[in-house]
Structure formats: C-alpha cells, structure tokens
Amino acid sequence: MRDLELAKQIIKNNWRDGFSVPTSKLYPFQWMWDSGFVALGTATYDVKMSMTEIGKLFSGQWENGMIPHILFHSENEHTYFPNFDFWNSQVNKGAPTNPKSSGITQPAVFGFILEDILKNHWENQEVKDFVKGIFPKVVNYHRFLYDYRDPNQEGLFFIYHPWESGRDNSPLWDESMKNIEILPGTIPPYERKDTALSNENQRPTQDKYDRYVYLLELGKKYKYEGKEIAEESPFLVQDNMMNAILIKSNDSLIQIAEDLGLDAGQVIEWQQLSKSNFDQKFWNEELGMYVGYDLRNEKQMLHKEIGGIVPLFASIPDQGKAKRINDYLQNLSSRGYYLCPSYDVDSPNFESMRYWRGPIWPQMNWMVHKGLLEYSFDETAGIVKDDLITLIHKLGFYEYFEAQKEVVETLQKGYGGNNFSWTASSYIHLNTNR
Ligand code: GLC
C-alpha cells in the first residue's frame, strides 16, 4: 500500500490554494475535468478536500452557465500558453473577473462525481448540504450545453475546439483541422510553452497548434457563446464521449434529486431526447462502436477510439451493442495490448507515444472499468483496472502510458507529465473498493 500513500502525496504536492493542478509545470492551473476526477479520489480519504476543490471550480462558472476548462487562479504563472491574457474571457460580460478563465469547456463530469461522493458519504450532513448547494449549478451547466450548443435541438451538443473534448490531439479531429486555412496574418503571433516542458514527439505538432489558436480566436470573436460560432466554425462536432458523459451525469442528477428531494424535471426532459438521439446518430454498425458526428459536414466520423467505448459508462448501448464493444477490448487484450489504448491500433494514424493518438489515459480506464461493470463484463473490467495498476507500478504516476506490452518491457517511465493528479486519484479510487 506504499503506492496509495505515494498517490496521496502527489495530490498533496499538487494542491494549491483550495484546488489541485494536474501537474506542476506543464499544467499549472485548475483544469475542469481533472478537478472532478481528483475530487473522486480525495473523497475516499478527505471529503473536505473534494468539496473545496469542486467549490473552487464552480467559483469560475459563467453567468450563462458555462464552466471553463481552465481557471487561472494565479496570474503569475508563465509556463503555460494560452494564458488568461490570450483567452481574454472578459469579452463575455458574464465571465467572472476573478478567477479569470479560458472561454471553452470540458466533459460534464460533475453529475456522476457528485453522485459517487454522496453515495459514499450518505451519513455526512455537510456533504448532503454541499451537494444540495451545488446541484442547481450543475443543472445550469447542463442547460448551457443544451441552450448554446445544440442549434437543432437534438439533445446532442457540439464542441468547436478539440480541447473541449478532453482528447485534445486525437486523430479524430484531423480532418476538420485540415479544413482550416492558416495564411500569414490569420492568427496573432504566439509562443508555445509545452514543448519546452515535455518531449516534442509526445506533444501536438506546430500546424495543429496554429489551428488551436485559430479556433480560440473564433470563439473570442463571438464572446465564446454566440450562435455565429456554429454558423462559422470549420470545426463543429457532436462528440460521442462528451455527450455520453453528459447523459451519465444527467442520470446522476436525476438520482441525486430523488435521494435528496430536489427537482430534476428539466433534466428528465433533456435526458429523454439525448438518449434516443445518441443511439440513433452515433452507433456505427460496421465498426461495432459509437462514433462522433461532424455537424459541419453532416457525417459520422469513422474512427475506432476510446470515446466510442465510454457510452457503456452511461448505460446507453443495448446488450448486443455492448457485447461488440466488449469483444473489441478483449481482442486488443489478447493481441498484446494493455487496455485501453486511446486510438485504433490498426490505423496508420496510431502513434503509441503521442498525445491522444494511442497511449492509455488513467481517467479513461476508470470510466471504461465502471462501464464494463454496468454490463457485467467483469473479466474485461478487471483487465482494464489491472492493466492501469500494472502500468503505474511499473512506470510511475505519469500522465499517459504506452499500450504495447512488448514496448512497455523496454521502458522505465510513462509519457507526458509526471506526478500527475488524476493518475494518482484514479489509482486511489480503483484501489479503494467502492
Ligand atoms: C490535456 C488533456 C486534457 C486535460 C489537460 C490537463 O490538455 O488533453 O484532457 O484536461 O491536459 O490534464
């Protein structure tokens, strides 16, 4: 259990003034879904930390309901680009001035995280009061997604920047990104910081970064909320994983409302629409998996990747579809891969070391593990959990990991940032028998 203590120590070292940073140099601020996963882990031994962290995140919620993907609690950190000044979230009058923030969001994890915390602290009145207080804010956040990001009222919201998806550099986004033309003067000058802090061959390439900046500028132009974004953005995607997580969190909000006597009427309405359209629009029979939808070009995005597995976690597929997803994972495991690679290992786009183009991410394994258990695929769920634990024991608490077993044999460490908060918290949660 020495590693459990080490994991807690990592979170402690990454703890700032009431929140955790993902890792100290590469990501020195508060990230939205990272914070959620850290709160899950800390709740197993210090639930006050979890409440503080979540409270701090919601202090950055915008008047329109959006929760930004980064809160810049400190304006004196200069190791990250784009920093608060580049985002200039103040173009939106409903954005708090303190903390300053980015102008885009990340996966809607807070519903299911609050449900987990509440379930495990049912006897604790302070936790119940906390959840009651934060519940309407989470509903408001979901309302933002339905109101501002779902122009056709399908119950499926869009993202307009790969960073919103949490899977920033996945090959999923390549096609839309290619459609963005960068001419001299199209974007303002900027200087990257990430490549000075992490191996360049594990980070996104320069032409990608220009396009990230382009989409950021597009959002800024329309105050990060205008309907012109949907009309104009070359990148407009209904992401399967983002929508699956929203559905999971809706379910959790409905459950929390029942447990605590709150009103979830509107969530129930959203949920009906979301669930039926998700299955119709995102399932791809040939691939045997859920895929995203390119709303700009009106077509499914035909990739096998980790996001297509997450609908298990939201109890979306029927047993037949779930079995196909389970078979996919079983097959990968029997072919010498640790589970779950973030991208299709058989595709020419697979890159085993590069950010979201192949490696394994801890918080993804956490969700997939839970999803498999929902469908009683206990054996695969066990592999997903054990593989992550094996990788952490062998390679350390890194941001992401090599998936090919024979390559892992040759390695001494993981990829990306070290002493990573959600790696530590996923490890703690998976080891704490909940
Ligand atoms: C990267 C990941 C994103 C995460 C952030 C902080 O940008 O792609 O999912 O939230 O790092 O860990």
Would you kindly state where each structural domain of the chain is located, as residue ranges? 61-302
Going from the Cα of 233 to the center of ligand 1, the distance in angstroms, rounded, reads 22
What's the mean pLDDT in 38-56?
Answer: 98
pLDDT digits (tens, 9 = 90+) for 94-138: 999 999 999 999 999 999 999 999 999 999 999 999 999 999 999
Pocket test for ligand 1, best of 20, 31, 109, 398 (most atoms within 8 A of CB): 31
pLDDT of residue 1: 57
Residue 420 Cβ contacting ligand 1 at under 6 Å: no
Q: Based on C-alpha coordinates, what's the Rg of the chain?
A: 20
pLDDT 10s digits, 357-388? 999 999 999 999 999 999 999 999 999 999 99
The residue contributing the CA closest to ligand 1 atom 2 is 166
- Interval 274-325: pLDDT, tens: 999 999 999 999 999 999 999 999 999 999 999 999 999 999 999 999 999 9
| 399 part of the active site | yes
- State the distance from the centre of ligand 1 to the C-alpha of 271, rounded, in angstroms: 27
The burial of 406, by beta-carbon neighbours within 10 Å (0-12 exposed, 13-18 middle, 19 or more buried), is given as exposed
**Which atom, in ligand 1's list, is nearest to the CA of 356?**
8
E strand or H helix that includes residue 299: strand 299-301
Q: What is the pLDDT of residue 105?
A: 98
CATH topology of domain 61-302: Glycosyltransferase (1.50.10)
Amino acid at 341: P
pLDDT in tens, 167-217: 999 999 999 999 999 988 889 999 998 888 777 777 788 888 999 999 999
Average pLDDT of the residues in 410-426: 97
What percentage of the chain reaches a pLDDT higher than 90?
92
Atom of ligand 1 nearest to the CA of 355: 8
Whether residue 256 contacts residue 262, with contact meaning beta carbons closer than 8 Å, is answered with: yes
Is the shortest distance between the CB of 361 and ligand 1 below 6 Å?
Answer: no
pTM above 0.95, yes or no: yes
The length of the chain in residues reads 434
Position 38 scores a pLDDT of 98
- Please enumerate in sequence order all residues whose Cβ is within 8 A of that of 9, keeping only pairs 6 or more positions apart, or say none: none
Minimal-distance CA residue to ligand 1 atom 12: 22
In ligand 1, the atom with minimum distance to the C-alpha of 422 is 12
Using DSSP's 3-state secondary structure scheme, residue 171 falls into helix
3 state DSSP class of 292: strand
Residue 227 CB coordination number (10 Å): 10
CA of 370 to the centre of ligand 1 (A): 21
Q: Which residue has the tokens 């939106």?
A: 92
One-letter amino acid for residue 91 of the chain: V
Atom nearest to 167 CA in ligand 1: 8
pLDDT digits (tens, 9 = 90+) for 135-181: 999 999 999 999 999 999 999 999 999 999 999 999 999 999 999 99
Q: Ligand 1 pocket: which of 34, 79, 80, 305 to mutate (most atoms <8 Å of CB)? A: 34
Residue type, 109: V
The single residue of 168, 175, 232, 351 carrying the catalytic annotation is 168
The region that residue 315 occupies, defined by phi over 0 for left and psi between -120 and 50 for alpha, beta otherwise, is left
Q: Is 168 in the active site?
A: yes
Please list, residue by residue across 76-112, b when 16 or more beta carbons sit within 10 angstroms of its beta carbon and e when fewer do. Answer: eeeebebbbeebebeebeebbeebbbbbbbbbbbbbb
